[in-house]
Structure 1
Amino acid sequence: MNPSLHTVASGQQRSYRIFHIMQPHFGTVWHYHPEMELHYVIRGEGIRFIGDNIDYFRAGELILLGANLPHVWHCRENNAEHMTEAVVLQFLPECLGSDFLDLPEAWQLSRLFERARKGILIRGRHKEKIIGLMYEAQTATGLQRIVILLSLLKVLLESADSKSISMTQGFSRPGETECRRLNLVYDYIFSNYKDNITLNQAAAISNMSAANFCRYFKRLTHRTYSAFLTEVRVNQACRMLIAGKHAVEFISYECGFNNPANFYRHFKLLKGVTPLEYRQQFSPVKI
């Protein structure tokens, strides 16, 4: 996939943007923007793409995205019966002034912003503090907005229980034609992952030969077409395993694998555990 540039409207005389999303989906276009972004999922589940990472997401996830980091949250359903909900805060790294990061007291922020270029999954005891401050920011006015932003940055610096998401932090910024081409392929894969999607079919969507498509896809996504498709299927399986409604063999076929043994092998390779072990991690503890 190739990301498209999104322009974020900050509003008049506002140093950052905070908004509450409640709609059938979070958007389906792989994109990037110069603003950093705190993204808290209140409701919804599906697969998220951040940089070169593909993973399952669900309610309760809190992520910090760095400037110009490509991303999209592709939700499980796209209708009013399965609404998604999130609180999103977006700010430019220099929103507090071009010299702010040069202050002796702010030297750690540059490191945080650099690390955020790979995306940061925030966990642990500081997570609830950050979420609370995001809710406060929605109704704050005047100087209190700046106080809350500074408090957010302070808690983010103190949050030790977090991990980087993407392996790569540098991404090319393509033109509009390339964006449309890769987003078409992305939408096709996501809509048809249950089927036997061939390389030639994906190449035809992008109007390229199979050989050119392979080189093009790997250059832009940092993985082969087959590896990308496998990751989408495995992460769809994660959702079904957590739901706990179907047997593993049924899930393997439902997610596009031609046999359970192949599914087990790819799942263990990508997740580090077997499908059954993964399901047990989310099973209620029996007392």
Structure 2
Amino acid sequence: MKLRFEEFTPDSDSSFRLIINPRLNDVFYWHFHPEFELVYIEGANGTRHVGEHISRFEGSDLVFIGSYIPHLNFDYGVKTECEKVVVQIRQDFLGNAFANIPELSAVYQLFEKSKHGIAFGRETKLLLKERLKNLKNLGHFEQFLEILSLFQVLAQSNEIALLHPKPVENQHNQKEQERITRIYNFIDQHYQQKIEVDEVANLTNLSKSAFCRYFKKITRLTFVEFLNHYRINQAQKLLLLNKNVTEACFESGFESLSYFNRTFRKVTGENPLSFKKKFLSDK
């Protein structure tokens, strides 16, 4: 699961990019980017993985993802035909005036909430699905107006679920993003093995103590805490693939079942078996 920084290329003469039915279902595309992203997928059962949040969606999903929140492509592993609409929006979509236009105050608050990642419920999806699928038939100006209107509806929805426990704020320049990506990719390649802090510190050309201070500053977690969170994320995916708890424990890099169970509860608030039953009981 390699973390990638995704470069944004807006549509010509536009401040956003519209992507219809991208085919990434065979690619585990774990990525992040500075743009806001609205995703609608229909006709599929799949995994919603945004930040540290992992859950299943059934039939359709509508999610608004804030700037720099790592996320997985929503159609990964989907075997059925499905429709997907992705709208990527530049950070400066409406510039500084965005916060000062009274008519857009609710939309502004929605963009603020997107720092957590937001999922919308059934009625909101039914209300907007045809409008989202019709965006491709509009000119750029009409798309701009329609997207504003769509966000106004989303802002007024009472079916909002925040996915990420804390807002994800980007405070890093491009060089730091590359360093962070290098660290994440190393973890991704070696999380099933024992990882020493010194190994990762060497990747950043920092001493062990300097690396620990740096890593805590950018992630708000110690390296061990972050590695445990990462491994628990992997274990959750394995459980959703119907692996048993022992398999999920050792295949995600833990060396002790009791420590795995304690860490799983600490990170997710529930034990592994409860998590698995909750999401697989209807299958």
Same fold (TM over 0.5): yes
User: TM-score, normalization: structure 1?
Assistant: 0.78
Among candidates 150, 153, 161, match of residue 152 of structure 1: 150
Among candidates 214, 219, 222, match of residue 220 of structure 2: 222
Q: Deviations for 1:86-139, whole angstroms, at most 9, x for unmatched residues? A: 532023476468757644433322222222233323334213434443222123
Distance apart, 1:239 and its partner CA: 1.3
CA 116–78 in structure 1, closer or farther in 2 if over 3 Å, else same: closer
User: Does the CA-based 8 Å contact 1:47-1:57 persist in structure 2?
Assistant: yes
User: Does the CA-based 8 Å contact 1:38-1:62 persist in structure 2?
Assistant: yes
| Structural mapping, 1:26-175, within 5 Å | 27-28=29-30, 30-33=32-35, 36-40=36-40, 45=47, 47-49=49-51, 54-56=52-54, 60-66=60-66, 69-74=67-72, 86-92=84-90, 95=93, 102-141=100-139, 144-164=142-162, 165-175=164-174
Q: Letter of the 1:168 partner, please give it.
A: P
Q: Tell me how far apart the structure 1 counterparts of residues 73 and 93 of structure 2 sit (CA, whole Å).
A: 31
Q: Letter of the 2:254 partner, please give it.
A: F
Distance apart, 1:218 and its partner CA: 0.9
Distance apart, 1:144 and its partner CA: 4.0
Q: Letter of the 1:72 partner, please give it.
A: P
Among candidates 260, 263, 273, match of residue 263 of structure 1: 260
User: Does the CA-based 8 Å contact 1:185-1:202 persist in structure 2?
Assistant: yes
Aligned-partner SS, 1:250: helix
Q: Deviations for 1:236-279, whole angstroms, at most 9, x for unmatched residues? A: 111121222x3211221111111211111111111111111111
User: Does the CA-based 8 Å contact 1:16-1:91 persist in structure 2?
Assistant: yes
Matched, 1:195 2:196: no
Q: Tell me how far apart the structure 2 counterparts of residues 89 and 186 of structure 1 sit (CA, whole Å).
A: 26
Q: Tell me how far apart the structure 1 counterparts of residues 273 and 239 of structure 2 sit (CA, whole Å).
A: 8
Distance apart, 1:228 and its partner CA: 0.9
Q: Deviations for 1:136-185, whole angstroms, at most 9, x for unmatched residues? A: 21232365424531331122112222233251353313242x22222111
Q: Letter of the 1:180 partner, please give it.
A: E
The structure whose RCO (Cα within 8 Å, separation 6+) is larger is 1
Q: Percent identity?
A: 25
User: TM-score, normalization: structure 2?
Assistant: 0.79
CA 139–173 in structure 1, closer or farther in 2 if over 3 Å, else same: same
Q: Where does the alignment leave 5 or more consecutive residues of structure 2 unmatched?
A: none
CA 233–128 in structure 1, closer or farther in 2 if over 3 Å, else same: farther
CA 133–191 in structure 1, closer or farther in 2 if over 3 Å, else same: farther
Aligned counterpart, 1:8 = 8
